[in-house]
Amino acid sequence: MSTQLASVTTLEDRTKRVTTQTLQEMRRAGTKIAMLTAYDYTSARILDGAGVDVLLVGDSASNVMAGNETTLPITLEHMIYHAQCVIPGVQRSLVVVDLPFGTYQGDTKRALHSAIRVMKETGAHAVKLEGGAVALEAIQRILSAGIPVMGHLGLTPQSIYKFGTYRVRAREEEEADQVRRDAVLLEQAGCFGIVLEKIPATLAAEVTESISIPTIGIGAGPSTSGQVLVTHDLLGLTKDFNPRFVRRYADLADTIHDAIEHYIEDVRAGTFPALDESY
Ligand code: KIV
């Protein structure tokens, strides 16, 4: 076990492309998978260079890039654009693209068409879509075209108007049971992983034990096979969003604010540019 663990974390391996098989090996070896969102070239390059295993071109771009209240307004064209911006910055990470609201629900042909467009027009490696049993036919059809699919259970933000709130899901036994059943269905269908969002840590641990594909948690406790966060939250760029599951590793909003104030002061004072910054 320890040699397997070491082999996944050596520097040499950090230059090898991450595939869906790599994630499965990491799960088996007990090496936690680190996943983060990316929507543009510059950030993708930094995150990939730092060793993030999976980059998610998430439909959270609707919130953090476009300023929408929900993920519902973002379109397939927007998602394709963001994925096209991310791919040139990536050498190692597996790039997964969210299929946005309205591009796969209730119409398997449309679902397949949306997934094919993402793969063909962006060069991404996989798609993610929300839902278990309700999305099963769409998932099967996409998988039948050879496109890897990641599932997403628990709090599924595209259904926010059904839930009415972003509170923790599956606290009640009936919904917890649905999550358990959905996870098994997604594994049986052939998904290579499942995001578990905002569910009790004990349920996430149980689901992770019960299936043999990696689970990636967000607000789902420490026992999942890996973790995902929205990069802007982790970096402290979204200061007005403070759920318990976000750990801030930097305060970039303050750092950027101070840098910009300093720049304005220098411009006003005529001290920027200096002679050695001029031609
Ligand atoms: O869109 C997104 O960022 C996501 C993560 C929260 C998992 O789906």
What are the extents of the domains in the chain? 16-248
Residue 12 CA to ligand 1 centre (angstroms): 29
Q: How confident is the model at residue 1 (pLDDT cuts 50, 70, 90)?
A: very low
CA 134 from centroid of its chain's CA atoms:
21
Q: Say whether 187 is catalytic.
A: no
Ligand 1 pocket test target in 52, 56, 96 with most atoms within 8 Å of CB: 56
pTM of the model: 0.95
DSSP string, 28-56: HHTPPEEEEE--SHHHHHHHHHHT-SEEE
Residue 71 CA to ligand 1 centre (angstroms): 9
pLDDT tens track for 154-183: 999 999 999 999 999 999 999 999 999 999
- pLDDT above 80: residue 4: no
Distance, in Å, from the CA atom of 150 to the CA atom of 194, rounded to the nearest integer, reads 5
Residue 273 CA to ligand 1 centre (angstroms): 41
Residue 83 or residue 3, greater confidence: 83
* Nearest CA residue ID for atom 1, ligand 1: 58
CATH topology of domain 16-248: TIM Barrel (3.20.20)
Out of 12-26, 89-103, 232-246, pick the least confident. 12-26
Question: How does strand 215-218 pair with strand 193-197?
Answer: parallel
Verify whether ligand 1 is closer than 6 Å to residue 98 (CB atom).
yes
From residue 77, alpha-carbon distances to 100, 102, 104, 174 in Å are 10, 12, 14, 37
Catalytic residue among 12, 77, 197, 209: 197
Verify whether ligand 1 is closer than 6 Å to residue 130 (CB atom).
no
